[in-house]
Amino acid sequence: MGDSTDATVPPSPVTFRLPTSVAQRNFVLASLLFHWGLIVYIVLYGNANNSLHVSAMAWAFGVSVLTFGAYVFGANWETATLLKNSTVTVQK
């Protein structure tokens, strides 16, 4: 009675809505601004002898590079998928 194994009750469809390109761009820009702000703060007020500051600088730089790379890779992947699934042909 009401079990998920009951054959008469169809499973509920799960749908995922992807964020719009504007939302993706805003998220990437906010992330990059935060990490670049952290880098600038550490450069101006940090101590080169403090291993925490050195580690935070390295991580902030690395995460910002990965964020930007993932954004560009994702945009290229999306464009390739749209071109593959479209009926528009590209003339050479």
Tell me how far the alpha carbon of residue 84 is from its chain's centroid: 23
pTM of the model: 0.66
What Å distances lie between residue 72 and 51, 76, 92, CA to CA?
32, 6, 24
Q: Average pLDDT of the chain?
A: 83
pLDDT digits (tens, 9 = 90+) for 39-54: 999 999 988 899 999 9
Domain boundaries, the chain: 22-83
Q: Can you give the pLDDT at residue 10?
A: 66
**pLDDT class of 90 with cuts at 50, 70, 90:** low
Query: What is the secondary structure of 62-90 as a DSSP string?
Result: HHHHHHHHHHHHHHHHHHHHHHHHSS---
pLDDT digits (tens, 9 = 90+) for 8-39: 766 667 676 777 888 889 999 999 999 999 99
